[in-house]
Amino acid sequence: MLRHGSLFSGIGGFDLAAEWAGWENVFHCEWNPFGQRVLKHYWPNAESFNDITKSDFSKYVHTVDIISGGFPCQPFSSAGERRGTNDTRYLWPAMLNVIETVKPRYVVGENVYGLVNWNNGLVFDTVCADLEAQGYEVQAFLLPAASVNAPHKRNRIWFVAYSMRARHSRASSTRTKNDARGANNYEFRKRTWPYSKDNWDSWPNQPYVLHGTNGLPAGLDVKTFPKIRRETIKAAGNAIVPQVALQIFNAINEYEKFT
Catalytic residues: 73
Give the 3-state secondary structure of the chain: CCEEEEECCCCCHHHHHHHHCCCEEEEEECCCHHHHHHHHHHCCCCEEECCCCCCCCHHHCCCCCEEEECCCCCCCCCCCCCCHHHCCCCCHHHHHHHHHHHCCCEEEEEEECHHHHHHHHHHHHHHHHHHHHCCEEEEEEECCHHHHCCCCCCCEEEEEEEEHHHHHHHHHHHHHHHHHHHCCHHHHHHHHCCCCCCCCCCCCCCCCCCHHHHCCCHHHHCCCCHHHHHHHHHHHHHCCCHHHHHHHHHHHHHHHHHC
Radius of gyration of the chain (CA): 19
Spatial CA neighbour of 134 closest among 87, 95, 173: 95
